[in-house]
Amino acid sequence: MKHLKMKPVLAIYPGSFDPVTNGHLDLIERGAKIFDRLVVAILQNADKEPLFSLAERTEMLREVTAPLPNVDVDCFHGLLVDYARQRKGQVLLRGIRAVSDYEFELQMAMMNRKLEPGLETVFMLPAAEYSFLSSRLVREIARLGGSVSGLVPVAVERRLRAKVI
Ligand code: PNS
């Protein structure tokens, strides 16, 4: 049998990560297991005022992904497909928590495919315990004085507390 030499697969996991949650981290760990390299790409969003600056979001992600040797953290602006092309990524990784995520994710995946047919979107499921978790809810709970313990990494919890005081 002919031995085929497989090209290492670089996957890109894009998002706002404002802030990174344990659900994101769970997906990053799952992605890092099946792809050769995983780039967590933070969107530099011009029209949405984030709670954490790009520098803060990058710092937090670098801290929590430090134990994963094949994971890099980067940021991007403009079209995701342009960024993926520039990084020579073959896969876009996205998490789907519930059926409600699917419609929007499908729309984005199909649009990205239209823009760049060679790029594959791969969906992965986070652990069931994170299926209700979102950065938006984490921000709201922290702002209203609730506990986000167990929902975000400890480093993020600390920064959230400092931010909302
Ligand atoms: O964490 P989020 O906010 O759900 O991530 C959304 C993200 C960053 C994946 C999406 O908004 C995006 O890809 N933005 C970049 C602009 C772009 O390429 N838009 C066309 C998508 S079809």
Model confidence over 72-120: pLDDT tens digits? 999 999 999 999 999 999 999 999 999 989 999 999 999 999 999 999 9
**At which residue do the structure tokens 């929007």 appear?**
104
CA–CA dist 52, 60 (Å, integer): 10
Quick check: 52 and 20 in contact, CB under 8 A?
A: no
Atom of ligand 1 nearest to the CA of 43: 8
Copy the structure tokens of residue 45.
Answer: 């969003």
Q: Is 135 tagged catalytic?
A: yes
Q: How far out from the chain centre does Cα 140 lie?
A: 19
Residue closest via CA to ligand 1's atom 3 equals: 16
* % of the chain beyond a pLDDT of 70: 98
- The pLDDT of 29-38, averaged and rounded, is 98
User: What residues contact 54, with CB distance under 8 A and at least 6 apart?
Assistant: 42, 44, 75
- 108 C-beta closer than 6 A to ligand 1: yes
Q: How far is the CA of 81 from the centre of ligand 1 (A)?
A: 10
**Verdict on whether the full-model pTM lies above 0.85:** yes
Q: Is 139 tagged catalytic?
A: no
Indicate the pLDDT class of residue 45, thresholds 50, 70 and 90: confident
- The pLDDT of 25-46, averaged and rounded, is 96
Q: Is 94 tagged catalytic?
A: no
Quick check: 83 and 76 in contact, CB under 8 A?
A: yes
Residue closest via CA to ligand 1's atom 4 equals: 15
Indicate the pLDDT class of residue 2, thresholds 50, 70 and 90: low
Residue closest via CA to ligand 1's atom 10 equals: 15
Residue closest via CA to ligand 1's atom 17 equals: 79
> Catalytic: which of 2, 3, 5, 48?
48
CA–CA dist 22, 115 (Å, integer): 31
